[in-house]
Amino acid sequence: MPSKAQATASANRALSRRLHPWPVRIMHWINALAIFIMIGSGWKIYNDDILFSFLRFPDAIVIGKWAQYGLQWHFFGMWILVLNGIAYLCYGIITGRFWQKLFPISPREVFVTVGEALRFRLRHDDLTHYNAVQKVLYLGVMAVGVLIVISGLALWKPVQFSELANLFGSFQNIRLVHFLCMAAIVAFIVVHVSLALLVPQSLLAMLTGGPLLDKPRDAARSAPAPTVTEIKNIPGVKTVPEIETSH
C-alpha cells in the first residue's frame, strides 16, 4: 500500500500543469508534418507553372513525381493543416494560453529585444516566458497561416469562393500572395529550428512537456493547523484556551 505522502505527491503531479500540455505537443507535431507536406508538394506545383523565371525548386526536395501527384499531396496536407489549425486556435482561445503567452506586447519591448538579439545578449534561460520578438513571430505566423489558407481556397475554387478571389484582384495576385505566405512560413521555420538547436531544452520541452508551472494545489493545506489544548478549569481561576502553533 502506498503511503499518504506518496499518494499526495502523485496527486500534486497530476494537478500541476506543464509548460506545454499534451494537446499542445500533439498539435505542434501534427502541424509540423502538415507544413512539411504542404511546402514540399507546393514547390512541385510551383515548378509546373513558375512565377519567377529565376526560381525553380530541385526535384530532390519536392513531393510528388508529377504535378498531379503534388496536388493530391497538397490537398491531403491542406485538410490536416486546416483541421489541426482550427483545433489549435480553439484550444489557445478557450484555455487562455494565447493571452497568457503572447500578451501584453509593446513596440518598446520589441525594439529592446531586437537590440539585445543583435548584440547577442538575448537570454533564453526562462522557457516559460516569451520575449517580444517571439511574441511577434508567433502572432505573425498565425496571421500568415490564416492568409495562406484564404488564398489557397481562392486558388482551389476561384468560382465557388469568388468573394475571396475578388479580395486579391486577379488570379496571378492570388498566386503571388500564396507564394509569399509560403516564403514567410519557411523563413519562420528556419528561425524557429535555429533557436531550437541553439537552446536544446526548448526542443526537449516540446517532447516532454517542459517544467511544471503550478505549485502543488494543497501546499497551503499541508501546513499544520493550529491546535487548541483544553485546560481543565480550576475552581476560582479563570482560564482561556491555549493555542499551540507548529513552527
DSSP-assigned letters across all residues of 157-184: -TTTTHHHHHHHSSHHHHHHHHHHHHHH
Q: Mean pLDDT per segment of 10 residues, for the chain of length 247 residues? A: 49 63 96 96 94 94 91 94 94 94 88 81 76 90 94 93 93 96 95 86 90 58 48 52 51
Provide the pLDDT for residue 217.
Answer: 43
Dist. CA 209–CA 207, nearest whole Å: 6
Provide the pLDDT for residue 130.
Answer: 87
Question: What are the residues whose beta carbons fall under 8 Å from the beta carbon of 154, sequence distance 6 or more?
Answer: 161, 164, 165, 167, 168, 174
Let me know: does 102 contact 130? Beta carbons within 8 Å: yes
Provide the pLDDT for residue 214.
Answer: 65
Provide the pLDDT for residue 155.
Answer: 93
Dist. CA 97–CA 24, nearest whole Å: 10
- Domains in the chain, please, with CATH? 18-208 (1.20.950.20)
Dist. CA 169–CA 158, nearest whole Å: 12
Note if the bond before 104 is cis, omega within 30 degrees: yes
